[in-house]
Every structure is written in structure tokens, then in C-alpha cells.
Structure 1
Amino acid sequence: MAQNQQPIFQTKPPEHFVQIPINPINIERDSTTLINQTGNRKPNHWPTIIISIIFVIVGQSIARLLENFYYDQINRSGYDENRQNDGVWTQSLLQSVGFPLLILPFIILTKKHNRQQPPITSDQSHYKSLAVIYICIGILIPAQGRLSAMGRLEIPFDRFTLIYTTQLIFTPIFGRLFNKTKFNRWMVISLILAIVTGALTLSSAFGGEPDEAEINYGRGSWAALFSGICFSLLLCNFQNVLDNYIYKRTESTTRKPSFASVFEIIIFSSIAASIISAVGLLIAGEQHELRREMNGFSKGKGSYVMTMVGQAVSWQVYWVGIVGLVFSVSNVLSHVISVITWPIVSVLVVIFFNFMDDELDVFKGVALITAALSAAAYFFRLHKENRDSTF
């Protein structure tokens, strides 16, 4: 009978928990925030964002102004059709050849960061993967530069602008596919306004615009389209390097990312890009045209050299701003800021040059307004994210 009695107090059987591993790299996140699952990416840092934006605007504006000055002074109207695309490899090379200017700040920032936080050792496969992707970026930079230069010399600038603006359509597509970017309404509004801004700069003038006999709509249109695609892919690759390689070094530690990684990406990618552009220049025989251009430059040889050097320096300032925005926020904001700089450039061209009776028209005025609205929409999103992260 005692055997049939139940105990007054029954011990609850132990609970077993199954731990499911989660890889933070594979979790989709909104690329407009810099807070990842490991906490190593800092919240949006406004001083870095603002400085990067200034670099993009100043670098791109000066580079484009000097480019217009270059084409104006070499007297392109006297060229024949067979020499129409002279200098496309040179313009491509100028976008990357100034990278030695970034080596000193890269060393300084790296040493300063290593003093504050000890360096992290990575396996050899990590650096091999980085080398491969830097080479890929190094291929995209001269491809984009050459196609862009060729497109502007093959078709009227208004048509080139409309086609080239389609790059903003490819940015969300590539961002979703390759970077797992999650878009919200403010990002979409910003992109739409940026597309409108780019399209409205169709009334801008360009110093190297082709004569009627030199126009090749088919080849020039394809060059403009693929140039825009290359630029979108370029920005996606910048984000990929930061998310999957640079920040991966610190995902298991408390070590914070450093802006030196921006210089690292530009320097090593530019080495590959400069080699490819230089080889293309030599194969095309453009080195012989450089001497002829220098001798025939309207303002003299000294001005020609300064124009080329100025472009090389300005492009490096531009790239620091572009990659800096990817580092601070995302490739989407970086692309938006790059495109909304176009109306600023078009206004400066009107002020400093007199191409084809170019003037400040309603298109340029509306473009400036939509550019401001595009930036405001994205900044409002960043403000909301920073505000929400404090609660």
C-alpha cells in the first residue's frame, strides 16, 4: 500500500535549452545605420559624415571644372573623327594615379589607432581575399572612368546625362543583392529625388562635347549606360569590403573601426587601377598625344601640367569622401551625394566658362532644389536612427 502512495513534493524535471548559433554577418540590417550585431560599428558620426560630404562636393567640382578647362584649351573643335577618343585612358588614369598622396595620412591614422588599441592578427586567407577584391575594384575604376570619358565624347552631353543617371536605379538593385540593404521610405524618396536631380542637369554644357560629325549614338549610349553600372558596382564593392572584411577583423573584439580603412581601400585599389590604366594608355598610344597636347595647350605647358596634377589630386579628395560616406553610413548615401553634386558643378561651369551660351536656366535651379530635398530626406532618416538608438 505504501508503494502506491505518490510523493507529496515532486521535483520538476530539468529543462534543456538548445542554443542556436547566429551569424551576425548574415543577418539583414538597414545599411543606413552603423550599429551591427556585435556593436563594433559606431552610430552615425555627424562630423565624419559632413567632412566626407564636403570632400565629395569639393573634389568632384574641381575635377570636373579642370576637365572642362582641359578640353577647352586643347581645342577639341579642331580634331578629326579618328582622334575623337584621344585621352580617354588618360582621364581614367587621372582618377587613380594620385593615390600616393594618401599614403602619409594612412600611416599616421594607422599608427595612432594601433597606439590606442592593439593591432589584430588575421589569417592569411583573409588578406588573400582582400587582395582579390582590391583587384576587382581596381578593374572597375578604370573601366568606369574610360567608359564615362568615351560616352561624353561620343554623344551630346544632355543625352549622356540622362543615360548616366540610371546608375541610381542599379544602386538599390545591387545593394539588395550584394549588400543585403534594407530600404525604407526615406531612402526611396531620397533616391527618387536624386534621380530627378541628375536628369535635370541635362541642360549642362561640357567642354569636350562632340561635333555633329563625331557623334556615335549607339556606342556612346552603351558606354554611358555601362559606366553608370560600373559605378554602382564600385560602391557596392566598397561596402562589401567594409562589411565582410574590414569590420570582420573586429567582430570578436572591442576594437573599434578606424577611418584609416578608407585610405587602405583607396590606396590598394588605386594601385591596381593605375597599372591597368597605364597599360591601356600605352597600348592605345596616348603617350604620344600627351606631348602634342602639352605643346599645343593654349595657356602653356605649365598650365597643362597643373591642370593634370589638379585633376589627379581632386579625384583623390573625391574618393576619400565617397568611401568615407560608405564607411560612415552606406553606399546609398554615398551615391546620392555624388549625384546631387552635379547641379553644383553645372552652375560652376556657367560661372567660369562660356560653353555654347550655357546659362543659369530653370532646370539648374530646380535641380539645386531637388538636390537639397534629396539630402534632407536621407539626413532625416539618419536623425531618426540616431535618436532611436539613444532610447
Structure 2
Amino acid sequence: MAQNNQPIFQTKPQEQFVQIPINIERDSTTLMSQTGNSNRKPNHWPTIIISIIFVIVGQSIAKLLENFYYDQINRSEYDESRQNDGVWTQALLQTVGFPLLLLPFIIFITKNKRSRHQQPPITSDQIHYKSLAVIYICIGIIMAVQGRLAAMGKLEIPFGVFTLIYTTQLFFTPIFAAFINKIKFNRWVVISVILAIITGALTLSSSFGGEPDEAEENYARGAWAALFAALCFSLLLCNIQNVFDSYIFKRTELTTRKPSFASVFEVLIFSSLVATIISIVGLLIAGEQDDLKREMNEFSKGKGSYRMVMVGQAVSWQIYWVGIVGLVFSVSSVLSNVISVITWPIVSVLVVIFFNFMDDDIDVLKGVALITAVLSAVAYFFRLHKENRMAN
């Protein structure tokens, strides 16, 4: 009997440790120097790279279409009473495209169900459905408020001033991440954040199609809007990471399954639904539905182009959000914020190429911003590379 039992105790535990991903995650030191949560998904370079591409592509296209929109509606002819026309519309465009995420969400969920093998039942108490629903509502409210404030800030103050103030999100995010997400920073992450702050500040020479005239400028209101928009964006990212760490990753631990990218779509779909409802209500209360009809009729390139611009913004914003939340899922809220900001110089250069606002040009500041953006990314990725080597 002893001889028959010995091979079993020698082989079966090894096979189980290889097959259960959650044990690999516990043994990995990856990201544990940045977060206090051992349930986080280890750095997975393909996911990180794809998410970064989504952020760059989504944000670039969305910003180009936004500039094109403001350029074609002849906003320079608006009087003071129409100063903030379309701010709820711009907030709505950032989230209204969420139904596009339903198909990939269903695909991921179906794939995960096929890979399950006699998982233990999970009660609603274990998953905390009610708590998760409340958090999604809170995230949706923050998304709607952030989109509205950012849209208003850009129409109230010069875009360079808005950019400088909006860069403060890189101050807020590490603070929130330290308290909410228990992230522990190392020198490479700090260097990356500092370089990202410099990058954001150097994009002050960028142009924007909806920039107000001197008579339209309202520095007090615009500055506060930009500051609170930055604060909301930082709070948004850190709360999304808290959802992953405190709920979704714990849920996958209970089922002994590796965290799935489906959770990215889950967070976005439910939060965006709430944000979309809020933006629609705000749009209707502000009477912007009448402005939309007028803008469509007066759009320089025609009604068809107007529809394409609006749909294009909605789609590109969803691409952007998948990348942003994907980086939170794969690494942290801090990296997500860094990548979002260091994309600004790329958008700035593209605006110069495609538009001619106030004789804007690719100047020294834009060139230096691109360099510091690359250095910021390199610093963060170097740290991730070191952590992966330590894990292996």
C-alpha cells in the first residue's frame, strides 16, 4: 500500500500547481511591490501592448474628430450665450458607444465558461453583487461628471492653460492610488510619473478647434472645471483598480480561475450605462437636442459628415476606454494615467498635420514632449521588466 501511494503524492500535487493559475499568481512577485494585493494578474506583455495601442489610437482619433467637429460648426461665431453649447453632448460621446463592447464581452464570457471544470458554486454574498452594483453606479457618475467638466473647461480657457491644469491628474492619481489601492512606489515609477508630468506640461503649445476668443474666456470657471475634471479622472482610475482588486480578482480566486479580460468589458459596460443615462438627462435638461439639429443643418461638410464625426467619436472613445481600463487591469491605475498623458504630444502633432489652428506648428516644446513621453514609458516598462525577471 505504501508503494502504491508514494507515486500519487509525488506527482499529483505538482500537476495541480501547474494547472491552477491562481497559485502562479500568488507565487509571482510581479506587481506586488506596487500593490498590496497578491490576487492581481501578473504583467502580461501582449495585453499591455495591445492596451497601449488602443489608448493611442482611440485618443488620437477621438481628439482629431473633436477638433474637426468644432472647426466645422463655426464655433468662433457663437456669442456668450452659446459659450458651453454641446458640453453634455461631448460627455455623452465618451460613453454612449458602450453597446459595441457587448459582443467581445459575450465572446470572452463564453470562452471562460467552456474552460471551466467543475467549479465550486458561488453565492451572491461571496461576489458582493450589491456592493459591486453601487460601485459601478459611482464610477458611472464620475465618468459623466468628468466628461462634462473637461468639455466645459476647454471652452472656457485657452487650451494651453487647460492642459497645464489638467496635467494635475498625475499628482492626484499617485495620491489616490497610495490610499485607495495601497500601491507602493519605487524610484522607476516615480521617475516615470515625473517625466509624464513634464510631458503633459510641455503640450501647452497645442491648439484646439473649440478654443474660446478673449471675450469668451472665463478663467475662474474654466480653471475650476479643468482641475475637478483632472481630480475626477484620477479618482475614476483608482476606483476601477479597486473594483479589480477587491471584487473581481477575489471572485476569480473563489472559482480558482485566472482573471479574464472580460472583466474590463464588464466594468466599462455597466459604468458607461450609468454615465450615458446621466449625460442624456443632462443633455435634455440643457436643451442641447435642439443644438444638435441646428449643428447638423449648419455643418460645413454636410449632414452625412456630421453623423460620421459623431459616430466616429463614440467608437474611438470606446477604443480608448478599453485601453485605459485594460492597463488598470494588467498593471495599475498609475501606468494607465501615465500612458494617457504621454499620448498628448502625439495628438498635438497630429492636430498640426491635419489642421491649421492659429498657425500652429511643430515647435521645440512638442519635440521635447515626445522625447520625455518616450522616456516616461521606458522608465515604467524597465521596472515592469525587472519585476518579471524577479518573478521568473
Task: Verify same fold: TM over 0.5.
Answer: yes
TM-score (norm 1): 0.90
2:81 aligned partner? 82
- Give the conservation status (yes or no) of the 8 Å contact 1:32–1:382: no
| Distance verdict in 2 for CA 1:354–1:122, change over 3 Å | farther
- Counterpart code for 1:187: V
What is the Cα deviation at residue 32 of structure 1?
6.7
Aligned mates of 2:201, 2:77 — CA distance in 1 = 30
- 1:188-208 deviation line (CA, Å, top 9, x unaligned): 000000000000000000000
1:66 aligned partner? 65
What is the Cα deviation at residue 248 of structure 1?
1.1
| Distance verdict in 2 for CA 1:32–1:280, change over 3 Å | farther
- Give the conservation status (yes or no) of the 8 Å contact 1:193–1:371: yes
What is the Cα deviation at residue 42 of structure 1?
3.7
- Give the conservation status (yes or no) of the 8 Å contact 1:35–1:43: no
Aligned mates of 2:85, 2:193 — CA distance in 1 = 34
| Distance verdict in 2 for CA 1:256–1:207, change over 3 Å | same
Which blocks of at least 5 consecutive residues in structure 1 are unaligned? 1-23
- Give the conservation status (yes or no) of the 8 Å contact 2:36–2:184: no
Aligned mates of 2:179, 2:32 — CA distance in 1 = 13
2:13 aligned partner? none
What does 1:94-109 correspond to in 2, within 5 Å?
94-109=93-108
- Give the conservation status (yes or no) of the 8 Å contact 2:108–2:261: yes
1:317 aligned partner? 319
Aligned mates of 1:293, 1:32 — CA distance in 2 = 51
Aligned mates of 1:49, 1:143 — CA distance in 2 = 28
Secondary structure at the residue paired with 2:312? helix
Aligned mates of 1:59, 1:82 — CA distance in 2 = 32
- 1:148-207 deviation line (CA, Å, top 9, x unaligned): 010000000110011000110001100011110100000000000000000000000000
1:201 aligned partner? 203
Which has the larger helix fraction? 2
1:45 aligned partner? 44
- Give the conservation status (yes or no) of the 8 Å contact 1:164–1:228: yes
Say yes or no: does 1:121 pair with 2:126. no
What is the Cα deviation at residue 255 of structure 1?
1.1
Secondary structure at the residue paired with 2:185? coil
Secondary structure at the residue paired with 1:251? helix
What is the Cα deviation at residue 31 of structure 1?
5.8
Aligned mates of 2:391, 2:260 — CA distance in 1 = 21
Aligned mates of 2:132, 2:191 — CA distance in 1 = 34
| Distance verdict in 2 for CA 1:168–1:31, change over 3 Å | farther
- Give the conservation status (yes or no) of the 8 Å contact 1:34–1:42: no
Secondary structure at the residue paired with 2:359? coil
2:269 aligned partner? 267
Secondary structure at the residue paired with 1:356? helix
| Distance verdict in 2 for CA 1:162–1:31, change over 3 Å | farther
What is the Cα deviation at residue 30 of structure 1?
4.9
- 1:325-381 deviation line (CA, Å, top 9, x unaligned): 011110110000000000000000000000000000000000000000000000000
What's the RMSD between the two structures over aligned residues?
1.8
Among candidates 230, 250, 253, match of residue 252 of structure 2 = 250
Q: Which has the larger radius of gyration?
A: 1
Paired residue total: 363
| Distance verdict in 2 for CA 1:93–1:316, change over 3 Å | same
Aligned mates of 2:71, 2:259 — CA distance in 1 = 44
Say yes or no: does 1:363 pair with 2:355. no
Secondary structure at the residue paired with 1:230? helix
Which blocks of at least 5 consecutive residues in structure 2 are unaligned? 1-24
| Distance verdict in 2 for CA 1:32–1:310, change over 3 Å | farther
Q: Which moved more, 1:43-52 or 1:112-121?
A: 112-121
1:292 aligned partner? 294
Percent identity, aligned pairs only, is 77
Aligned mates of 1:207, 1:64 — CA distance in 2 = 10
Among candidates 130, 136, 153, match of residue 151 of structure 1 = 153
- Counterpart code for 1:69: F
Aligned mates of 1:92, 1:45 — CA distance in 2 = 32
- Give the conservation status (yes or no) of the 8 Å contact 1:151–1:160: yes
What is the Cα deviation at residue 250 of structure 1?
2.2
Secondary structure at the residue paired with 2:278? helix
- Give the conservation status (yes or no) of the 8 Å contact 1:34–1:328: no
What does 1:220-231 correspond to in 2, within 5 Å?
220-231=222-233
Deviating above 4 A after TM superposition, structure 1's stretches of 4 or more consecutive aligned residues are 29-36
2:379 aligned partner? 377
